[in-house]
Amino acid sequence: MKKIIAAVIIALCFSGCSYAERVKYEYKIVPLGSLTSLQKSKNANAKTAEVEGLLNEKGADGWEIAEIFAVRTTFDPNVFFAVMKRPVE
């Protein structure tokens, strides 16, 4: 394990990346709501456009998706959230 850590540190040093140059991020959790309608609805395009609009709005403010996860509830097993991040200046 120590050899692997040493190899990573050496690789970082040779790549010119130092710890001080690392970018710091702030994070935000954005509820996307239930996406069940994308599977069941005949008008899935409306829900898709709603989610796209939300993500485009956040993207215009500098946020990008880091991860998307689902939360299972007794009412709907497909409630999604996006973890978004943007660099802290």
pLDDT digits (tens, 9 = 90+) for 42-63: 777 878 888 899 999 999 999 9
Give residue 73's pLDDT.
75
DSSP secondary structure of 33-57 = EE-HHHHH-TTHHHHHHHHHHHHHH
pTM for the whole structure: 0.64
Give residue 56's pLDDT.
95
Q: Is the pLDDT of residue 22 over 60?
A: yes
Burial (CB < 10 A; 0-12, 13-18, 19+), residue 8, is exposed
